[in-house]
Amino acid sequence: MRPLVIISLCLGVATAARADWDVNEVPGIARSVDVFAPGSYSVSTSTQTELFENGIQSAVFLHSDVFGTFLSPMGCFAVVVRPGDVISHQNCRAAGNIIPPDPVNTVVGIRRVKHTPSGTGYASVALSDGGLSLLTASAGLAGPTPWTLLSAGAGLLSSTDVLGVVETSDGAPHALFSVTGVTRTEFLWYTRDRRQAQMVVPSNLTSEAPLTVDLFAGSGPHPIALFGNSDGLFRGQLDPAGTTFSAVMLPDGMSDVSITSVDVNTGNGSVHGEGFGLAVGVDSSGEPVVLGAVPASSADNAGTQWRVHPVFEGSALPGAAQATPLEVSCIGSSFCLFILDQPSFNVVTYVNANAPVLDVGPSPIVVNETGTATARFSATDADSDAVRVSVDASSTPGADLVGVNIVEHPDQLDVTLVPQRPVCKDEEGLLRVYASDGLASHDVQATVAYRVVNTEGPERPTVLPSRESTTASGASRVFTAQPASEACPAVRYVWSPVSGQSGAPLLSTDGGAQATFTPPEVLCQASGTSYAYEVRGVDEGGLTSSAAAIFTVDVAPWGRPLVPFASGWERTLTSGPGSSVDVVPDALHTCEGTPELPTVDTEWRLSASGSGIPDGVTVRTADGTAVTLHSPVSSERLRVEAVECAHGTLALTARNRIPVTGGGTQDSADAELRVRVEPSLEDVATGSLELGVVPSGEGDVDIALDTSLNCVDARTLKARMFLETLGGEALDSAVVPVPGTWRPALPRSCTVESYRVRGELFDDSEGPVREGGRAQAEISNQPLPARLGALEAGGLVARCGEGASATLTQTIPADACGDVAISWSQVAGPALSEVSLAGPSVTVSTQETGLEALVGQSITLRVLADAGGSNTATTDYVLPITSERFVDVRHAMESPTASEKGLVGVVVELRNTSTCEVGGLHYLENVDGLEWVPGSVKLDGVAVEARAVDGGFRVEDIRLPAQGTQTLTYVGRSPLLSTPRLGGEMTLNGVPVSGDAAVPPRTSGCGCSGGGSGAAVFGLAALARVLRRRKEGGAYSPKLMR
């Protein structure tokens, strides 16, 4: 084949950039065409069959009777000639014949062979008796031969070369054969090798035989069929239960077109456009026609709308003027080819290379809320493909705002926007506009904004209350607006006086549902007045309701009175006999002089910030009555009087009051005023300072200060006071109020001293200090008394051979005279070794050294503190003489036995630890848990008299040698299960001198000597123990208890 120039030159179209069309030629007259892939196709002519790959011839068969071709996925190219023989390029497959043997009829020849995309083959065969054979093979020409014979049904049917094949989404192959009967045209529909239906085209639809048939997949399991003939183009959804064909509306002005070939493909588009293909034919004048399928909303709607391909519109096809397009074949949505019935310029190819371009016009589209708006969206395609323009408003902002009515046209879309609801303000939304040429990858989109304009304001609101009344400068009145019940109620309000009025106060509002009427401060009109107002609602968009709600306010006179006094009002009154000042309001009411104005009263009271009526000041009402002003008083004026020397500030609060019709009053604001009362004061320079000396009972001296000046309470009089020695040395100073008292800090002294006090009078009131008189006086101090404090002394302890001694210290209280002479003297008791003692601390000792003569005695000492000048103090102290413990007391006791009837012996050892023999001792034995036996007490084995006392017995007049020991023994009876507790104490002249020192138990006998009943008891006990010891064979060892 010889390639020719691109169609823009051959056909005279505007530019080569508009479409990617090529015109080529193959030798002979083209009969059929098969497209295997974009750029890969075969063309069979009256002389040969050629295979082109990527536009370049790759194989040729010089046969004039080829009626079907096949290109396997492995690149094996094979053809079927009229007798049914299979010929392959370079013998890439085994030779064979696809027609099964027929013992009855002779095969006339193959009419047409076609393959589905996956390779299933279908063939139509003519027989000698005018009948037909229909064949299929799941592997087509790539599989074995012969093919399978399809059941054609009853009746005489003849074959044609009109055949369409397709695969649906479930992968099932389908074929639609056009066959002819005796008087009618029929279709036979097969799925795989099963006949689905035999269909007759109604004669009232068309009586012309199909020139072409095409199948394409829809959304269901059954394909959609298109067939064309000299009456036009027809379409039907195949259905085993019955298929109905209908005529396809062709573009305007093309009602008489003969369609010679059609090919539509689906499955390569999107929801925005599905279906791509061409239909070719001639019109009633013999001019060639090329139509492009407009992509549809779905595969089920593909092939329903067509438009004239603009590349060929108004132009002859290349070659002969009446060249007729014979067959068109497309693959997917990207490549088409059709052939012409002429020996040259007979192959036209097309590639869908360019995406559409959208034109959505100006944005936003404006539509009134009560109207509609239209717009047209269009698209162009550089390949001149038919384009579907669509819109989606359901998934964009404002989807509920408008309804979108559409009218689809090829390459354009007319839309009408219809608002679906009222808008309370301008609202905007978006439309998404899409353009599709049937190839999903070419889809383009644009976003178009629209605005629904708020044109209807809210309805008239209501207002409550509709009428109110108040008084000038009285209470405010609040009015509340309520919106009408509607889709777009008012969100704020406009409040204003009704026009035509004068003096109507403005309402206070923030634009909300409430407005406040504040009456005028005064209304000098006895009959009062009324004001009318209106309120209008405003919606979100700012539109105001056309009708207003009216309401009225009635205002009664007169309004609040004026403040009686200006701010800071003040008067000064000089106190004295007959002095006074009248306090009269400066103003009463703005409406003074207006007929029928009620009387305005003035009410007076003490100010909360004041301190009451000053002493010496009298307040009287206009009728002369004196008032305390503790409660408010009404009077047209007040008179303030002040006696001599009265001073202070009278702070008053006044307000004017007017009665209100119907009861009550209206009050002005409070006015604060002051009357300053000031006395006529003598010049401080003429006044003297008077000093008085008053001794206090605490050793200090108070100075009383006074003056000769009058009205001292009205002044701030003070004195600079100084304390000095008579030599002029400064000791203390202070500033003291006059009158007043000053206690100077006199030096502490044990003797009387003289000092000088002097003072300087001055007035410290407001303004510069004014000096007055001076004075001085001589004063004496009160000396500190001589006093004795506590005695700090160790005990007077007598020791053997040393006597009794102690160190004594006399203390002086802090508030007493510390500079004193201290002397000591003995008043009573054993004689001391020291004849005279002096000083705050002394040590005393007795002349006697014997313990018997000292212990239990006491010494009385007298202490004298002398500060001089008869300033003395004396105290007597009695000091008892004690002793260190020098007697040890030890106890031992035997355990009782049954034979001894519970009797036990007790031994008490008394030991003198000192180096002095001591007599006159008394011993007390304490017995607990043991009954001592009277008459059993012995001292060193000699019976002694023991006097029973509570809890034991007492032995008197015991003498212990120096560092010697005496033993006291007695017998006791121990109760059953009792544990005795023994103890004793030795005293000398009533002073305890013993301590209990334990000694180890004795190892022999009872440690006693002498006879008597006690010895007998102990002897018996000892004998019993010896016998018991011998009987038991053990050693004897008495057990002693302490």
Q: What is the 3-state secondary structure (H, E, C) of 479-505?
A: EEEECCCCCCCCCEEEEEECCCCCCCC
Whether 1040 is in a domain gets the answer: no
Rounded to the nearest 5 degrees, what angle is found at the Cα of 699, between the Cα atoms of 695 and 701?
A: 35
Whether 561 is in a domain gets the answer: no
Whether 330 is in a domain gets the answer: yes
Whether 563 is in a domain gets the answer: no
User: Distance (Å, rounded) from C-alpha 55 to C-alpha 70?
Assistant: 17
Quote the pLDDT of residue 3.
Answer: 33
Q: Which of 883, 899, 929 is the last residue of a domain?
A: 883
Quote the pLDDT of residue 1012.
Answer: 35
Binned at pLDDT 50, 70 and 90, residue 115 comes out as very high
How large is the average pLDDT for residues 496-503?
92
Quote the pLDDT of residue 895.
Answer: 65
Whether 1041 is in a domain gets the answer: no
Same domain, 874 and 893: no
Q: Please write the tens of the pLDDT for every residue from 68-81.
A: 999 999 999 999 99
Element (H, E) at 1020: helix 1013-1032
Quote the pLDDT of residue 901.
Answer: 66
The residue segments making up the domain with residue 500 are 462-556
DSSP code of 832?
B
Same domain, 129 and 265: yes
Q: Which of 780, 810, 839 is the last residue of a domain?
A: 780
pLDDT greater at residue 715 or residue 174: 174
Q: How many residues does the chain have?
A: 1042
Quote the pLDDT of residue 976.
Answer: 73
Q: Please write the tens of the pLDDT for every residue from 853-872.
A: 889 899 999 999 988 878 89
Q: How many CB atoms lie within 10 A of CB 220?
A: 15
Q: CATH number, domain at 372?
A: 2.60.40.3450
Binned at pLDDT 50, 70 and 90, residue 12 comes out as very low
User: Distance (Å, rounded) from C-alpha 620 to C-alpha 580?
Assistant: 10
Which tokens hold the place of 490? Answer: 């008012």
* Residue pair 573/676 in contact by the 8 Å Cβ criterion: yes
Q: Which amino acid is at 128?
A: S
* Residue pair 684/692 in contact by the 8 Å Cβ criterion: no
How large is the average pLDDT for residues 55-74?
94
Same domain, 734 and 863: no
Quote the pLDDT of residue 996.
Answer: 54
Q: CATH number, domain at 702?
A: 2.60.40.10
Q: Classify strands 158-167 and 173-180 as parallel, antiparallel or unpaired.
A: antiparallel
* pLDDT, mean over the chain: 88
Quote the pLDDT of residue 1.
Answer: 39
pLDDT greater at residue 960 or residue 794: 960
* Residue pair 324/288 in contact by the 8 Å Cβ criterion: yes
* Residue pair 181/156 in contact by the 8 Å Cβ criterion: yes
Quote the pLDDT of residue 235.
Answer: 97
Tell me the backbone φ, ψ of residue 721, rounded to 5 degrees.
-110, 140
Answer yes or no: is pLDDT of 273 > 90: yes
Quote the pLDDT of residue 315.
Answer: 57
pLDDT greater at residue 40 or residue 18: 40
How large is the average pLDDT for residues 452-475?
93
What is the number of structural domains in the chain?
A: 7
Element (H, E) at 928: strand 918-928
Show Cβ contacts of residue 257 under 8 Å, excluding neighbours closer than 6 positions. 232, 233, 250, 281, 282, 283, 284, 289
Answer yes or no: is pLDDT of 998 > 70: no
* Residue pair 906/891 in contact by the 8 Å Cβ criterion: yes
Same domain, 893 and 878: no
* Residue pair 164/328 in contact by the 8 Å Cβ criterion: no
Quote the pLDDT of residue 979.
Answer: 81
Same domain, 801 and 897: no
Binned at pLDDT 50, 70 and 90, residue 314 comes out as low
Same domain, 857 and 968: no
The number of helices, as runs of H, and strands, as runs of E, in the chain is 3, 81
Quote the pLDDT of residue 697.
Answer: 66
Same domain, 389 and 316: no
Answer yes or no: is pLDDT of 728 > 50: yes
Answer yes or no: is pLDDT of 402 > 80: yes
Quote the pLDDT of residue 585.
Answer: 96
- Percent with pLDDT over 70 in the chain: 91
Q: Please write the tens of the pLDDT for every residue from 1013-1034.
A: 343 344 334 433 433 333 343 3
Q: CATH number, domain at 812?
A: 2.60.40
Same domain, 602 and 468: no
Quote the pLDDT of residue 717.
Answer: 93
- Count CA atoms within 13 Å of residue 683 on its CB side: 2
How large is the average pLDDT for residues 85-106?
92
pLDDT greater at residue 647 or residue 393: 647
Which tokens hold the place of 115? Answer: 């393959």
Q: CATH number, domain at 1004?
A: 2.60.40.290
Q: How many CB atoms lie within 10 A of CB 743?
A: 15
Paired with 867 in beta bridges are: none
Binned at pLDDT 50, 70 and 90, residue 569 comes out as very high
Strands (E), 356-423: 356-359, 365-368, 373-381, 388-392, 402-409, 412-419
* Residue pair 416/372 in contact by the 8 Å Cβ criterion: yes
Tell me the backbone φ, ψ of residue 89, rounded to 5 degrees.
-70, 120
Quote the pLDDT of residue 1005.
Answer: 32
User: Distance (Å, rounded) from C-alpha 984 to C-alpha 953?
Assistant: 10
Whether 564 is in a domain gets the answer: no
Quote the pLDDT of residue 864.
Answer: 93
Show Cβ contacts of residue 908 under 8 Å, excluding neighbours closer than 6 positions. 889, 890, 891, 925, 967, 968, 969, 970, 984
Same domain, 938 and 1025: yes
Q: Which of 324, 351, 378 is the last residue of a domain?
A: 351
Whether 892 is in a domain gets the answer: yes
Quote the pLDDT of residue 21.
Answer: 78
Burial call 132-150: b when 16+ CB within 10 Å, e when fewer: bbbbbbbebbbeebebeeb
Q: Which amino acid is at 386?
A: A
User: Distance (Å, rounded) from C-alpha 210 to C-alpha 253?
Assistant: 22
Quote the pLDDT of residue 898.
Answer: 45
Q: How far is CA 297 from the centre of its chain?
A: 52
Same domain, 395 and 529: no
Quote the pLDDT of residue 483.
Answer: 92
Query: Does this model's pTM top 0.85?
Result: no
Out of 470-474, 592-596, 847-851, 887-891, pick the least confident: 847-851
Same domain, 878 and 893: no
Same domain, 739 and 864: no
How large is the average pLDDT for residues 58-76?
94
Quote the pLDDT of residue 318.
Answer: 66
- Percent with pLDDT over 90 in the chain: 69
**Taking Cα atoms as reference points, which of 953, 964, 968, 960 lies closest to residue 909?**
968
How large is the average pLDDT for residues 618-634?
94
Whether 91 is in a domain gets the answer: yes
